[in-house]
Structure 1
Amino acid sequence: MNRKATYKIAPCLYRSIHHIFTLLLLCWTVSSSAQSANNNYSSSKQVISQGQLLFQENCASCHNFKQQGIGPNLSGVTAEVSYQWLTKFVRNPQQLISSGDKRAVSLFNKYKIPMPAQTQLKDTELKAILSFIHTQKPVLTTSNNDSTLGIVLDNPIPEKIAQSALTLQLEEWATAPRTAQQGPAARVNKMVVLKGKKEKVFLEDIRGILYELSGNKFRKVMDMTKLLPNFIHVPGHATGFGSYAFHPDFYRNGLFYTSHAEKKDAAMADFGYPADIRVTLQWVVSEWKIDLSKADTVFTGTSRELLRINMPGSVHGMQEITFNPLSGPGSPDYGLLYIGIGDGGSAEDGLSQLCNSSSTLWGSVLRIDPRGRNSTNGKYGIPSINPYASDNNPKSLGEIFARGFRNPNRISWTPDGKMLITDIGLNNVEELNIGIAGADYGWPYREGTFLMNYQGKMNKVYALPADDKGITYPVLQYDHDEGNAISGGFVYTGKIASLKNKYIFGDIVQGRIFYVATESLIQGRQATIQEFGLSFNGTSSTFREITKQSKADLRFGAGTGGDLFIYTKTDGKMWKLKDCLLKVNSQ
């Protein structure tokens, strides 16, 4: 039966489908060009299968076929626009936006950032991806329980973030070595100061490289691509060399810990799920025994695997592992490793059962004893102080410290002992939480201090129910009028007096830099956020203007003496905070 015949026989069905299409990628009627271009899509099972794999590698971090994520739901998009338009858009979205193309501009206005240009794809690969997308038709469903949730909050946090009188004076400090010819120049991520008899500074590139910094010079001390045969850093969103941490007794025991991504079938996972749920990749935590006699030049030694986790998607992986820097010998927390593990996109993909209970570890912060051996696999310890280690529920996972996160991507501590966990949101709210053992932070049924329809469409939020209880809410939040993804920072401990006792953080996408007073981070309250002005080498500007990119891809690092560094993965540039100026009101 051809398409025109279908329209004639079932006009009501067509109108319903058309209504759903208007809520998806492009809000226009079906064009004749889209219909006539269908012969560009391959019907070959082999090509479509290849397209599915390429979609997982290149597209699934932002798109799915069930609901809006970072980018639009793509189900039915090939009936909305032509093959030729989709090809142009995927190749160079920013060019279409700059040309004034109505569809491209509308998408940019809705999602705030353009899709990165996919210039690395061969023509045959792009055709395979679009052919796979073409098989994903919209499903006529209604959002579960929407009518019972109340009124949709189109602007969850109407108060705007105020511009402060403080301007950060940044000076260009270094450019990290380029690690790819296409895409971000250097995916520099986490800076760590190794304290002890010899204080050192390290910086990791997600593509698998660990550098030691001597001033602003980079010396490669570790290359995961050569040490781990199954290591992967594609797709680029939230894969690769996730994080690293030095054992607090490193200078005595040489123990060093890393997290990294591997291929989906690399080895048997310690934590998995039913076979009917796909495995996209695995995240692995490893312990390395470093030869301290050679550590000044290169990290060599032996490694052993502590745990391995299957992930349903490539997003929201294991982006943080760390030790509590404030705990000393004799403290119950001393030597315990915290691990932030995201939900792997499970909630957005209709798999919320993976991330909403104490019997599953996705969307949680774990705490393990890497030197213990009482875990199920016998490779690490489960601390008795963990909240679920002795809750008398045989299904609970004792490794869990706290749960209810979408993407707990940064963990730090305030000087007075508060554990801070940033959680990157979906469509509406970015948040900072105080880490409390046993707490449930609400994902996927909450985002910030708002209710979500986790069983249906998750692109809207609602007011909390009157009988709300059992959820621990953030102490700081902002909505997507202000930014798109929180970039965790630090409480400033350097020499600039005006910045003392301020938690400095920002937005990954927009490149804006914010702060709150540390004393305002109180559980049960919302701290007031203020924005810094920015000056680069003496010229007022923004990170978007400096990088010449719509996505700044911003990260923070704390060096020796509390020096603050801000760097951007788009260009690999690192900026050092030189001073902070107070603007005096002349009126």
Structure 2
Amino acid sequence: MPRYVLPLLVLITLSLFFLTSCGSSQSQEASAQDSPEVSFVRDELSVQHGQELFNQHCAACHNFQETNIGPNLSGVTSSVDKDWLVSFISNAPEMIDSGDERAQQLFKKYNLYMPAFTMLDNQQIEHILGFIHKFSQGQKKSQNNRPGGILNPVKEKIPVANLRLVLEEVLTLPASDTASPLARINKLLAIESSQGERLFIHDLRGKLYEITDRSTSQAYLDMNSEYPDFIHVPGYGTGLGSFAFHPDFEQNGLLYTTHTEPANAAPADFPLPDSIDAKLQWVLVEWKADDPKTKGFSGAQRELLRVDMVSHVHGFQEITFNPLAQPGEADYGLLYLGMGDGGAGMRYPFLCDTKEQIWTSVIRIDPLGENSANGQYGIPDDNPFINEPTAVHEVWARGFRNAHRISWDRTGSGKMFISNIGQHSVEEVNLGVAGGDYGWPNREGVLLFDPMANPELVYPLPANDSGYVYPVAQYDHDEGNAISGGFAYAGTEVPLLKGKYIFGDIPRGKIFYSEVDAMELGQQAQVYQLSIEFEGQTTDLPTLTQSRRVDLRFGLDGAGELYLFTKANGALYKVIDCKDTSALAMIDD
């Protein structure tokens, strides 16, 4: 009898056909689906690793929507016993030769023989099945079984550049928990004062620190003592979200923060419809320091804005002032706030795909004004939708699933960068355009997204597509999971970084860059990966932090020098050099 080798998982999915066509398997199907003992890995890094393995071994023959070269995988993990699948992937020939009835029936029926995949260990098989399970469930729950889904939207791998960042540890922030992440540090910001530069960093669990002598930190503000309703659990970016100092802080003492409180803690300025329950509220607060020059805050605060959220995820992200705006210019003293969809994009897309709602937007307000509906802030008269009666006038741009970070190129181009965290396919770097529609929940990257179809898939753009602002750099989930927005390098100490926008991936801790000059609307800039060196040794951030999930963030000091920091160990690192590894190799030769 001839034997033909198939790609990994062909017989797994053929087993689905066998099980669902044999009456004796019904009880096994039910137990696979309903038994509490049956579980699949669900954490994002394991599932993503499973996708990498799937794309490597299986994607050419299989998808989750239709029979291709191999059978449709949709539903296999809820129809076939998991232990049997694990054993069959590990060593199909052994199961056939041992007399396993199901394996022998498959071999007899299809005359196909899958070899033992000894190169895959048990953890890799678990990750593959975790990925298949997640995609299968997405397909099962979708209201629209749309064909043509793309599993690997950016097939080209990100090249590793011949550049190696040299890191120096500045300090470790005080631990705010005993388990990883030890400190949920989230943003670094420098301000200029008559005393010289002041450097601030904050922990999502509630404390804003001032770095006092470049090696120690001192608590400047503690949300836990100021707001009894302050919450920072269950995580997902909740807590003390972001902070920004007014450009005239030394004169007016004004500081701005965002934080989370329980649902219904107070009436929301932007409530959800009555039919939708809020899970929490995001709040924007103005603080007025009695003495802006002191090392600890004392003063008063007032609430500016409160917004209901459908879930705990994708809330307020960056708040920032345009550092390029000068006194007398239209943008001076105006506060930008990046706001995600709050989880509404998949469940209530009508809250997102419109100028008449505030979610998925970057808003732009005058914190010193009072012409808003609640009278607590102003709405600039040059905001793009100010003359549209039904639009939310605070909105400056919209269509972001989770507008993670906002920054400006301080070296001459003036480009505004807005990073956007994707659903399960594409991570984006965008250029800010007033009035722009960035597509969510109808677009993800330069691809179509359908909120009614499988949320793990994207689709080709329709013909004659128009009306959306697309990213200028993107990468897919073979390379990372969630973008950590960054900065165009603006310093002088590391000349090899000149002209580069540095960003990365939050959980995996990869560091990327694109050339600022190549980041133009209507085209995709090449993304490159940087390597790192610490204490004379080439390493990577998972190794350096001794954590599988790094939780990477970036910051600049007043001189434009680059820092990175990680929640995994609560450490702040400065980039003190960048080495050309190709030149080093020539020297070694």
TM-score, with structure 2 as normaliser: 0.78
Which range moves more in the overlay, 282-291 or 179-188? 179-188
Confirm or deny that 1:372 pairs with 2:372. no
Q: Which residue in 1 is equivalent to 2:400?
A: 405
CA contact (8 A) 2:141 2:454 kept: no
Q: Which residue in 2 is equivalent to 1:187?
A: 184
Distance 1:152 1:537, change over 3 A: same
Q: Which residue in 2 is equivalent to 1:363?
A: 360
Mapping of 1:316-465 within 5 angstroms?
A: 316-348=314-346, 350-391=347-388, 394-415=389-410, 416-465=413-462
Mapping of 1:122-201 within 5 angstroms?
A: 143-144=143-144, 146-147=146-147, 151-198=148-195, 199-201=197-199
SS at match of 1:535: strand
Q: Which of 532, 535, 555 is 1:534 aligned to?
A: 532
Counterparts of 1:537 and 1:210, CA distance in 2? 29
One-letter identity of the residue aligned with 1:106: I
CA contact (8 A) 1:565 1:574 kept: yes
Counterparts of 1:255 and 1:216, CA distance in 2? 26
CA deviations 1:214-239 (Å, max 9, x no partner) are 21211111100000111100011110
Mapping of 1:1-400 within 5 angstroms?
A: 30=29, 32=31, 100=122, 104-106=126-128, 143-144=143-144, 146-147=146-147, 151-198=148-195, 199-214=197-212, 215-292=214-291, 295-348=293-346, 350-391=347-388, 394-400=389-395
One-letter identity of the residue aligned with 2:215: N
Q: How far apart are residue 404 of structure 1 and its match?
A: 0.3
Confirm or deny that 1:468 pairs with 2:465. yes
Counterparts of 1:431 and 1:486, CA distance in 2? 7
CA deviations 1:268-320 (Å, max 9, x no partner) are 00001212212100000011111116x42311111110010000010111111
Counterparts of 2:127 and 2:430, CA distance in 1? 35
Counterparts of 1:61 and 1:274, CA distance in 2? 31
Confirm or deny that 1:501 pairs with 2:489. no
One-letter identity of the residue aligned with 2:243: Y
SS at match of 1:296: coil
SS at match of 1:581: strand
One-letter identity of the residue aligned with 1:206: L
CA contact (8 A) 1:61 1:313 kept: no
Counterparts of 1:197 and 1:357, CA distance in 2? 45
Counterparts of 1:383 and 1:60, CA distance in 2? 43
Distance 1:551 1:192, change over 3 A: same
One-letter identity of the residue aligned with 1:578: I
Counterparts of 2:158 and 2:311, CA distance in 1? 33
Q: How far apart are residue 497 of structure 1 and its match?
A: 1.2
Q: Which of 482, 485, 490 is 2:487 aligned to?
A: 490
CA contact (8 A) 2:138 2:454 kept: no
CA deviations 1:349-387 (Å, max 9, x no partner) are x21111110001111000001111111111111111001
Distance 1:155 1:245, change over 3 A: same
Q: Which residue in 2 is equivalent to 1:571?
A: 569
SS at match of 1:544: helix
SS at match of 2:448: strand
One-letter identity of the residue aligned with 1:384: D
Q: Which residue in 1 is equivalent to 2:541?
A: 543
CA contact (8 A) 1:76 1:138 kept: no
Distance 1:80 1:283, change over 3 A: farther
Counterparts of 1:347 and 1:480, CA distance in 2? 19
Bigger Rg over Cα: 2
Distance 1:111 1:373, change over 3 A: farther
One-letter identity of the residue aligned with 1:449: V
Counterparts of 1:182 and 1:168, CA distance in 2? 29
Q: CA RMSD in A?
A: 3.1
Counterparts of 1:252 and 1:196, CA distance in 2? 10
CA contact (8 A) 2:409 2:490 kept: no
Counterparts of 1:526 and 1:535, CA distance in 2? 29
Distance 1:157 1:140, change over 3 A: closer
One-letter identity of the residue aligned with 2:455: M
SS at match of 1:451: coil
Which range moves more in the overlay, 525-534 or 444-453? 525-534
Q: Which residue in 1 is equivalent to 2:516?
A: 518
Counterparts of 1:461 and 1:243, CA distance in 2? 31
SS at match of 1:467: coil
Counterparts of 1:111 and 1:337, CA distance in 2? 43
One-letter identity of the residue aligned with 2:490: T
SS at match of 2:225: helix
One-letter identity of the residue aligned with 2:390: K
Counterparts of 1:81 and 1:370, CA distance in 2? 58
One-letter identity of the residue aligned with 1:180: D
Q: How far apart are residue 80 of structure 1 and its match?
A: 8.4
One-letter identity of the residue aligned with 2:544: I
Distance 1:109 1:374, change over 3 A: same
Kindly tell me the number of residue pairs found equivalent between the two proteins.
491
Distance 1:438 1:167, change over 3 A: same
Q: How far apart are residue 563 of structure 1 and its match?
A: 2.2
Counterparts of 1:309 and 1:61, CA distance in 2? 28
SS at match of 2:559: helix
Q: How far apart are residue 459 of structure 1 and its match?
A: 1.4
SS at match of 2:345: coil
SS at match of 1:173: strand
SS at match of 1:546: helix
CA deviations 1:5-49 (Å, max 9, x no partner) are xxxxxxxxxx99x98xxxxxxxx96475876769x9xxxxxxxxx
CA deviations 1:416-453 (Å, max 9, x no partner) are 21111000001100001011110000000000100011
Q: Which runs of 5+ in 2 are unaligned?
A: 1-15, 21-26, 46-50, 52-74, 83-119
SS at match of 2:302: strand
SS at match of 2:127: helix
One-letter identity of the residue aligned with 1:196: S
CA contact (8 A) 2:512 2:528 kept: yes
Percent identity of equivalent pairs: 44
SS at match of 1:454: coil
Q: Which residue in 1 is equivalent to 2:69?
A: none
SS at match of 2:481: coil
